[in-house]
Amino acid sequence: MDSHEKVSVSAPTSAGKSFIMSRWIREFVKAHPTATIVYLVPTRALISEIEKSLSVMFEQERGAPAGASVSSLPVSDSISPNQATILVFTQERLHLLLTASPQLSIDLLIVDEAHKVGDLQRGVLLQSVIERSVQINPNGVVIFASPMTGNPEVLISDFGATAESAAFASNDVTVNQNLIWVSQVPRQPVRWAASVCLQDQVVNLGLISLKNIPTPDTKRLPFVAHAIGGLQSGNIIYVNGAGAAEKTATQLFDLLGAEGEIQNSELDELVDLARKIVHAEFLLPKVLKRGIAFHYGNLPLLIREEVERLFSLGVIKYLICTSTLIEGVNMSCRNIFLRGPKKGVGNPMSAEDFWNLAGRAGRWGKEFQGNIICVDAARSDIWGAEGPPKQRVRAQIKRTTDYVMAEPASLIKFITEGAPRGTSKLRPEIEYVFSYLMAEFLRAGSVSKCVWASRYDGAELSALDSALEGAAKTIKTPQSIVERNPGISPFAMDALLGEFSERSSRVEELLPAPPASDDAVTIYTRIFSLLSRHTSPKLGPEGPRAFSLAILVTRWMRGFPLSRLIVDRLGRPHTQSTASIIRSVMEDVEQIARFEAPKGLNCYSDLLRFHLTSAGRSDLVQQIPNLSLLLEFGVSQQTQLALIGCGLSRTSAIALSEIIAADDLTEEGILEWLRLNNQLWRQSDLPALVKKEIRTTILAEDGI
């Protein structure tokens, strides 16, 4: 990394990539004291983890340069011209910042989990923001890091093979990992045989006795895990979804019985937090009492972080996880148990993801040995005809754009037919690629001028150019709006523009309302109905679903705590269990309020500004609220945003803001308020873990 500008590295999970990159950032800042650095990660959970680790490194480690700022807010004010700025983002947040600051020059771009350029819709956006960053500053340093890939060089191939670029792949595994197969002994339901799978043979280890007969089949995984893990710590159980995680936790809770009860003050604080910020009937507080927790992507960040911390300390002994664990959460274990793992509904896990997940078993300096335990390994109906993966394999990085453009006829047909909504629903990635290609075509005049063009056949590029040119002649949406709204078909944008033009009612009725407005739910229900017909089908369909989502999104932007959103949903007529409602609200927050709604409402606002200007009503443009940050962070005040900018989770930011009267405080103002009101917030009824996060995140260096 010292000697090259463009580097792509590949190494197994837990090899130390994140450790090396963070230390190298420190050296880069020493050499470039006013550099702008962006560290891209695939999930919001990793934003918090990386942001905190970098902040600690710069604040506390000997030899770290002074004066570096670490932030996760995608606003131009986050960048200081007088000191190094390190921005920890997902691709969505970098897109927000590049939209607000189109000429942002990034001196160092680190892309962690870089193989995610093949992650369908989000992969296209990741590719787009990387290319835009390099176009703005071609001399900037770019580092790609991915786990166990066979072709890391593909990520730097578009920059040209020069002395300034290099690819590096390592096979080194830093801990001993045992692949263990466990299968039921014929005609003996409670006796199971365990074998260790070596490269050239399978060696019998012995027999395991279960406490009870594991029927129905959902009990087989937790019963085997309990038989092997007992009351020891360090056990991860992988399941295929949030509902399965909660069921497995319940089964394990009953299996452990009173013998598993734990007395621990930190565990009690987490129990209290989960009850207060989620719901009194949330399952997690109950199972925590026996050292069991579950971990999935929709859980509030503060709860996830504390679960991970207590698991790493051995307080939580069993952690039931979903595919969130594959996304790079840096968490190690002694044993990881799997049974026919899937990634998403009905999608068998690839061998590459299996080994990425298995990399959590053992971690250098924490667990020097780990066990990957495959339950029902002999059953082809569970693991497929080939059984569990036996040898490590390297994944091949393939961009979503490459995957879609491998079928040029289908892509061209999609474009020439006007991007039919039916196809977009079945294959949303094809709409993302079309949107990306149209933006590139409008910018350069031909896709043959794109950085990746040399990898494709000239005749295919020419045919694609012809289809894009034909589409461009009919599209009324301006180029700037197409570029600002990746993933949405320009034809769909035109259809929404048409709805604006054809309306006979007052144009003021099209304006989005500030979230605090009394009529906000009514207005956003109408907007979601429009969007669901044209650009954002998941915001509908019209009727009860659009209304329900409008309530959720409006109250999310107002800064309502998750517990209030859940109570609201439970208070309306429903047929689901309380546990299902809790999960559905958390899923809607992540998938709708923080992903689909921002995408749809940003497009709606851009198109409405254009329509109002074209219609001679520029006077109304200033009344359109900027909803991007409100939706991304779920806050409605500058004070709340500043609290998040200080490093607090949304949970803590909202809880603390409820006892702060001012709604316009900056990060410096937050520190001053905490100094002046030291006893007020410490003696308030804020959950203990919220107070702890305030102390460790904001006040660690201030001695307040």
Concatenated DSSP letters of 478-544: -HHHHHHSTTS-HHHHHHHHHHHHH--S-GGGGSPPPTTSTTHHHHHHHHHHHHHHHT-GGG-STTH
pTM (global) more than 0.85? yes
Residue 61 pLDDT: 64
Residue 297 pLDDT: 79
Sequence-separated (6 or more) residues with CB below 8 Å from residue 447:
437, 440, 441, 453, 461, 464, 465, 468
Residue 46 pLDDT: 86
Number of C-beta neighbours around residue 499 at 10 A: 14
| pLDDT average, residue stretch 466-495 | 95
Residue 324 pLDDT: 74
Residue 353 pLDDT: 82
Residue % of the chain over a pLDDT of 90: 67
More confident residue, 65 or 258: 258
Contact between 163 and 370 under an 8 Å Cβ cutoff? The reply is: no
Residue 365 pLDDT greater than 70, yes or no:
no
Q: Which long-range contacts (CB under 8 A, 24 or more apart) does 156-165 make?
A: 156/6, 156/7, 156/8, 157/455, 158/131, 158/451, 158/452, 158/455, 159/6, 159/134, 159/451, 164/4, 164/5, 164/6, 165/4, 165/5, 165/6, 165/7
Residue 655 gets the label, from left (phi > 0), alpha (psi -120 to 50) or beta, of alpha
Residue % of the chain over a pLDDT of 70: 96
More confident residue, 230 or 352: 230
Q: Which two tokens stand for residue 141?
A: 């340093």
Helix (H, G, I), strand (E, B) or coil at 110: strand
Residue 78 pLDDT: 86
Q: How far apart are CA 603 and CA 489, in angstroms?
A: 11
Q: Strands across the sheet with 141-146, in order? A: 69-71, 85-89, 36-40, 108-112, 141-146, 6-10, 165-169
Residue 393 pLDDT greater than 80, yes or no:
no
Residue 63 pLDDT greater than 70, yes or no:
no
Number of C-beta neighbours around residue 698 at 10 A: 20
Residue 601 pLDDT: 95
Q: How far apart are CA 514 and CA 324, in angstroms?
A: 33
More confident residue, 302 or 361: 302
Report pLDDT digits (tens) over 85-104. 999 999 999 999 999 899 99
Residue 165 pLDDT: 87
pLDDT averaged over every residue in the chain: 90
Report pLDDT digits (tens) over 628-682. 888 889 988 899 999 998 889 999 999 999 999 999 999 899 999 998 999 999 9
Contact between 16 and 174 under an 8 Å Cβ cutoff? The reply is: yes
Residue 327 pLDDT greater than 80, yes or no:
no
Confidence band for 364, pLDDT divided at 50, 70 and 90: low
Report pLDDT digits (tens) over 265-282. 999 999 999 999 999 999
Confidence band for 700, pLDDT divided at 50, 70 and 90: low
Residue 163 pLDDT: 64
Residue 368 pLDDT greater than 80, yes or no:
no
